[in-house]
Amino acid sequence: MIGELAALGAALTWTASAVLYKEALSKARPVPVNVVRLLCTSMILLVCLVVVGRFWALASLSSYAMWLAGISGIIGLGFGDTLYMVSLKHIGVARSVPITCTYPLFGLLWAILLKGENVTIQLTVGTAAIVVGVWLLSREERTSVPNKKKIMVIGVVAALAAALLWSISITMVDVAVTLPETGSLDYALAINTLRTAAGAVALVIFAPVIDRKPGFLKFERRTLLALIAGGIVALGLGWFLLAYSFLYIPGSQAVPISSTTPLFSTLVGITLLHERITARNVAGSVIIVLAIFVIFII
């Protein structure tokens, strides 16, 4: 039960962080937002690791575990999360989060392509349902807003690309925390810290190329606080909870549970962010979550 609760906790933290990111993105661009978030969070995690006396776990990681954690952070947190920020800015929490939460499907596709796993009836039905769910969420509503269609397309494509990168990143984390030498809470903390730092370093290097506008890292105090809080909640707590759940239940169970975020994000979009939620948005979110459970749980 610990593993299931940890995975569900990850879903809840990612919902909370999406609200904080949306607040920051209303006044800043996706790339600098992610740079500041990753830098601040990685420094906080490193300090916490030292304070609680667990830095030894980071220092004693095998080179293989370090490579897995580092590359996972670069792919998932550096580039995947930047695309997620782009999606949030363009289409909002209620649409972006459900689409990005299709990452378990991509993970399963890797298993089929790389490991030769069988294509089952559940997979076929679930995949078709996810496609329908994404279609419902990406439907453009009639509006007089200029370039609305272009904005919608950018947001949806960015969300799907983020889901693709997250699937690779999560698979690597699963392998890293379940190695014989890293199967403990201390190492889960160390791996999560390392991947966050790796994502920060990579994005700092590539950011000037991706975003060349002046005033690159100038933020208001409120925006900076929202980013730091969101980073701690999502990266410090959320990803740790997911990595921790891998110690108790298989990734095939933990990942679908963690992808229930769309249900919470839809409620948050309505109640806190006052986003315009239609019956299609709600139906799309529910269909995606149910489809993932059909594929992985039933």
Residues in the chain: 298
Cα 175 to the center of its chain, rounded Å: 18
Q: How large is the average pLDDT for residues 180-206?
A: 88
Torsion of CA 28, 206, 177, 93, to 10 degrees: 30
Q: Looking at residue 196, what is its pLDDT?
A: 92
- Tell me which residue range forms the domain holding 98: 2-296
Q: How many CB atoms lie within 10 A of CB 273?
A: 16
User: Could you read off the pLDDT of 132-177 as tens digits, one per residue?
Assistant: 888 777 766 555 455 677 888 899 999 999 999 998 998 888 888 8
Average pLDDT, the chain: 82
Q: How far apart are CA 50 and CA 182, in angstroms?
A: 18
User: Could you read off the pLDDT of 167-185 as tens digits, one per residue?
Assistant: 899 888 888 888 888 777 7
| Whether this model's pTM surpasses 0.75 | yes
Count up the domains in the chain and report the number: 1
